[in-house]
Structure 1
Amino acid sequence: MSNNNNMDPLPSPEHSNHPNFLPAPPGIPTPILTPKLEPLDEWVTTTQDPTRTDFSNGTHQFNLNFFADETLAASIDGGNADDDNNGNSLYSDFNRVTDLFRTAFTTGLQQCQNDDVSDPNSRAIVPVPAEDSVEAPPSAVVSVARQRRWKELVRVTDAGVGELQHFRDVVRRTRMVYDSLRVLAAAEEERRVDTRRARSDLRASGLMRTCGLWLNRDKRIVGAIPGICIGDVFFYRMELVVVGLHGQPQAGIDYLPASMSSNGEPIATSVIVSGGYEDDVDEGDVIIYSGHGGQDKHSRQVFHQKLEGGNLAMERSMHYGVEVRVVRGVRCEGTLSASGKVYVYDGLYRITECWFDVGKSGFGVYKYKLWRIEGQPKMGSAILKEALMLRRDPMCINPTYYMSLDISNKKENVAVRLVNDIDRNPEPLLYEYLVRTTFPQFVFHQSGKATGCECVDGCVDGCLCSMKNGGEFPYSQSGVLLRGKPLIFECGPFCSCPPHCRNRVTQKGLKNRLEVIRSRETGWGVRSLDLIQAGAFICEYTGVVLTTEQAKILTMNGDTLIYPGRFSERWAEWGDLSLIDSTYERPKYPSIPPLDFAMDVSRMRNVACYISHSSTPNVLVQYVLFDHNNLMFPHLMLFAMENIPPMRELSLDYGVADEFTGKLSICN
Structure 2
Amino acid sequence: MNSQNPNITFPSAPPGIPIPTPILTPKLEPLDEHIEQTQQPNLNEIPNLNLNLNLNLDLVCEETLNDNNSNQNANVYAEFNRVSELFRTAFTKGLQQIPKNEVIDEDPNSRAIIPVPVPDALQNYDSTPSAGEVTAQKIPRRWKELVRVTDLGLTEQRHFRDLVRRTRMVYDSVRVLAAVEEERKIDVRKVRSDLRASALMRNCGLWLNRDKRIVGAIPGVCIGDVFLYRMELCVVGLHGQPQAGIDYLPASMSSNGEPIATSVIVSGGYEDDVDEGDVIIYSGHGGQDKHSRQVFHQKLEGGNLAMERSMHYGIEVRVIRGVRCEGTTSASGKVYVYDGLYRILECWFDVGKSGFGVYKYKLWRIDGQAKMGSLVLKEALMLRRDPLCFKPMCVFSLDVSNSKENVCVRLFNDIDRNHDPLCFEYLPKTTFPQFVFHSSGKGTGCECVDGCGDGCFCSMKNGGEFPYSQSGLLMRGKPLIFECGPFCRCPPHCRNRVTQKGLGHRLEVFRSKETGWGVRSLDLIQAGAFICEYTGVVLTREQAQILTMNGDSLIYPNRFSNRWAEWGDLSMIDANYVRPSFPSVPPLDFAMDVSRMRNVACYMSHSSTPNVLVQFVLFDHNNLMFPHLMLFAMENIPPMRELSLDYGVADDELTGKLAICN
TM-score, L = length of structure 2? 0.87
Match of 1:321 in 2: 314
Change (3 A) 1:264 1:109: closer
1:219 and 1:372 map into 2 onto residues whose CA distance is 24
Aligned to 1:663: 657
Deviations 1:96-119, CA, capped at 9 Å, x for gaps: xxxxxx99479769999999999x
- TM (norm. structure 1) is 0.86
Asked if 1:570 corresponds to 2:563, the answer is yes
In 1, the alpha carbon distance for the partners of 2:364 and 2:80 equals 35
CA contact (8 A) 2:59 2:574 kept: no
Deviation at 1:339, TM superposition (A): 3.0
8 Å contact 2:83–2:149 — kept in the other structure?
no
The structural deviation recorded for 1:191 is 1.0
Taking the aligned partners of 2:405 and 2:59, their CA distance within structure 1 comes to: 42
Within 5 Å, give how 1:159-308 maps onto structure 2.
159-194=152-187, 196-308=189-301
Describe how 1:519-534 pairs up with structure 2 within 5 A: 519-534=512-527
Correspondence 1:29 to 2:20: yes
Asked if 2 retains the 8 angstrom alpha-carbon contact of 1:489 and 1:624, the reply is: yes
In the alignment, structure 2 segments of 5+ residues that lack a partner are 63-69, 87-114, 116-122, 125-132
For residue 32 of structure 1, what is the amino acid of its counterpart? Answer: I
Distance in 2 (CA, whole Å) between partners of 1:360 and 1:116 is: 43
CA RMSD of aligned residues (A): 2.8
**2:515–2:657 Cα contact (<8 Å) kept:** no
Amino acid at match of 1:322: I
Alignment of 1:421-500 (within 5 A): 421-500=414-493
* C-alpha deviation, 1:194, in angstroms: 2.1
Q: CA deviation at 1:23?
A: 5.9
Alpha-carbon distance, 1:426 to partner? 1.3
Query: Structure 2: which amino acid aligns with 1:549?
Result: E
Deviations 1:195-239 (A, max 9, x none): 521100000000000000000001110000100000000000000
Change (3 A) 1:653 1:105: farther
Identify which range, 454-463 or 329-338, moves more after superposition. Answer: 329-338
Rate the CA distance shift 1:493–1:281 in 2: closer, same or farther, 3 A: same
How far did 1:158 drift? 2.8
Partner in structure 1 of residue 327 of structure 2: 334
Q: Deviations over 1:298-333 (max 9, x none)?
A: 000000000000000000000000000000000111
> 2:596 matched to 1:597?
no
Q: Is the 8 A contact 2:30 2:243 kept in 1?
A: no
Note closer, same or farther for the CA distance 1:219–1:109 as it changes in structure 2 (3 Å cut): closer
Q: Structure 1: 5+ residue runs without aligned partners?
A: 1-7, 67-101, 123-128, 131-138
Task: Report the 3-state secondary structure (helix = DSSP H, G, I; strand = E; otherwise coil) of the residue aligned with 1:329.
Answer: strand
Q: Distance in 2 between matches of 1:443 and 1:346?
A: 50
Aligned match of 1:501? 494
| CA shift in 2, pair 1:457/1:63, >3 Å | farther
The equivalent of 1:89 in structure 2 is: none
Residue-pair matches, total: 603
Q: Equivalents in 2 of 1:109, 1:244: separation in Å?
A: 14
Which whole-Å deviations, capped at 9, do the CAs of 1:477-512 have from their partners, x for residues lacking one? 000000100000000000000111000000111110
Q: Structure 1 residue 451: deviation in Å?
A: 0.7
Residues 516 and 657 of structure 2 are in contact (CA less than 8 Å); yes or no, is this contact kept in structure 1? no
C-alpha spacing 1:269/1:110, structure 2 compared with 1 (3 Å): closer
2:46 equivalent to 1:58:
no
| Correspondence 1:539 to 2:535 | no
Question: What's the offset of the Cα at 1:61?
Answer: 3.7
Cα shift at 1:338: 3.8
The one of 349, 352, 358 aligned to 1:365: 358
Residues 283, 544 of structure 1: alpha-carbon distance in 2 compared, 3 angstrom cutoff: same
- Whether the 8 Å CA contact 1:58–1:472 is kept in 2: the answer is no
- Whole-angstrom distance in 1 between the partners of 2:335 and 2:46: 31
Cα 1:660–1:629, aligned 2, differ >3 Å: closer, same or farther? Answer: closer
- Cα separation, partners in 2 of 1:519 and 1:109, compared to 1, 3 Å: farther
Amino acid at match of 2:279: V
Per-residue deviation, 1:289:
0.1
2:8 pairs with 1:20: yes
> Is 2:607 the counterpart of 1:642?
no
The letter of the residue matching 1:259 is S
**2:98 matched to which residue of 1?**
none
For residues 156-187 of structure 1, what are the alpha-carbon distances to aligned partners after superposition, in whole Å with 9 as ceiling and x for unaligned?
11321110110000000000000000000000
Check the 8 A contact 1:109/1:166 in 2, yes or no: no
Q: Distance in 2 between matches of 1:276 and 1:584?
A: 43
- Change in Cα spacing, 1:44 to 1:187, as seen in structure 2 (3 Å) is farther
Percent identity of paired positions between Structure 1 and Structure 2: 78
Change (3 A) 1:50 1:164: closer
Matched, 1:413 2:406: yes
Aligned to 1:309: 302
8 A contact 1:622–1:636 mirrored in 2: yes
Q: Which SS does the other structure have where 2:58 is aligned?
A: strand
Deviations 1:133-157 (A, max 9, x none): xxxxxx9x9755x121123111111
The whole-number CA distance in structure 1 between the counterparts of 2:187 and 2:429 is: 40
- Give the SS at the match of 2:160: helix
Map 1:113-152 to 2 at 5 A: 143-144=137-138, 146-152=139-145
Find the counterpart in structure 2 of residue 513 from structure 1.
Answer: 506
Change (3 A) 1:468 1:660: closer
Q: Distance in 1 between matches of 2:278 and 2:73?
A: 36
- SS in structure 2 of the partner of residue 501 of structure 1: coil
Q: Is the 8 A contact 1:103 1:170 kept in 2?
A: no
Tell me how far 1:379 sits from its aligned partner: 0.2
Distance, in Å, in 1 between the alignment partners of 2:160 and 2:340 is: 17
Instruction: Give 1:39's aligned residue.
Output: 30
> Residue 414 of structure 1 contacts residue 511 of structure 1 at CA under 8 Å; is this kept in 2?
yes
Name 2:370's counterpart in structure 1: 377
CA contact (8 A) 1:236 1:338 kept: no
Cα distance in 2 for partners of 1:47, 1:149 equals 14
Superposed CA offset, 1:538-569 (max 9, x none): 00000000000100000011131100000000
What CA distance in whole angstroms lies between the structure 1 residues aligned with 2:49 and 2:371? 44
Paired residue secondary structure (1:301): coil
Tell me by how many angstroms 1:394 deviates: 1.2
Change (3 A) 1:309 1:106: closer
Tell whether the 8 Å contact from 1:46 to 1:198 is kept in structure 2 after alignment.
no
Structure 1 outlier segments of 4+, above 4 Å: 43-53, 105-118, 141-144
Against the structure 1 CA distance between its residues 535 and 309, is the aligned structure 2 distance closer, same or farther, given a 3 Å change threshold? same
Does 2:149 align with 1:156? yes
Name the CA shift for 1:47/1:398 in 2 (closer, same or farther; >3 Å).
Answer: closer
CA shift in 2, pair 1:591/1:105, >3 Å: farther
What's 1:82 paired with? none
Distance across 1 between alignment mates of 2:341 and 2:415? 32
Aligned to 2:89: none
The structure-2 alpha-carbon separation of the partners of 1:291 and 1:400, relative to structure 1 and needing over 3 Å to count, comes to same
How far did 1:660 drift? 4.1
Aligned residue for 1:553, secondary structure, equals helix
Change (3 A) 1:21 1:47: closer
Q: Name the CA shift for 1:45/1:148 in 2 (closer, same or farther; >3 Å).
A: closer
Q: How far apart, in 2, do the equivalents of 1:116 and 1:525 lie?
A: 35
2:96 maps to none
Deviation at 1:428, TM superposition (A): 0.7
Q: Supply the AA of the counterpart residue of 1:431.
A: F
Q: Indicate the SS of the match to 1:155.
A: strand
